[in-house]
Amino acid sequence: MEIIKQKHSPWKRLLHKWQSKRNIPFRRKFFVGYDLAGNTYWEFTIDGNLSRLRRKLEPFQQQVFKVDYFKTIPPQWLQWLRRTRNNPPTLNELVGDQVRQQKLKVLAKQADDKWQFEKLQMEQDNQMKLQDELDRVERESRKIEEPSKIENSVIEKETKENPWKQADESINSNPIESATIKPRN
């Protein structure tokens, strides 16, 4: 009600309260309610038939184009104007919906931040995995180059020091030719 007190004077609110009474004879226009933007909603009749009243909006501030009013009309009042809702919404319902929308915006912002953080985390993990893989490939390429040099020097050193290795190398690769028969005593 504080929002309405800021937008409409006490005399205007008192006049609206009197205009909302339906038991006064010969009245053709009835006040129904306010929205949070200060717009007023009315039911009226042209021919005096009170069984089916027409509904309309009187905006708080006049605008050049009638289409511009739709951005200030809450969905609950639009439903009432289009007759998809029988009872007009209350101010408490409108305030509750506004609070719900604010909470939803906060939750959506938090979800966006969470997904952005997870995206950055995944990118960092992928970057680390890629760097680890590059390091591993680089280490393996070094190992392939170095051991061939080291292996050649180790083999030469072993063959010089180990006579058994020399004997094995001197033997022909064909085992039949290298086999000898020892006589028995």
pLDDT digits (tens, 9 = 90+) for 38-72: 899 999 988 777 778 888 888 887 766 666 677 77
Residue type, 112: D
Alpha-carbon distance of 43 to 17, in angstroms, equals: 14
Give the residue, 84 or 154, on which the prediction is more confident: 84
Which of these, 93, 94, 76, 97, lies nearest to 85 by C-alpha position?
Answer: 76
Alpha-carbon distance of 87 to 22, in angstroms, equals: 15
Distances (CA, A) of 181 to 97, 148, 149, 176, 184: 106, 40, 41, 11, 9
Residue range 110-133: mean pLDDT, rounded: 94
Which token pair is 59? 């905006």
What is the model's pTM?
0.57
Distances (CA, A) of 84 to 49, 76, 78, 139: 21, 10, 9, 73
State residue 49's pLDDT score.
Answer: 72
151-170: per-residue pLDDT in tens?
666 566 655 666 666 566 65
pLDDT tier, 150 (very low <50, low <70, confident <90, very high otherwise): low
Residue with tokens 């180059």: 145
Residue range 93-106: mean pLDDT, rounded: 94
State residue 26's pLDDT score.
Answer: 82
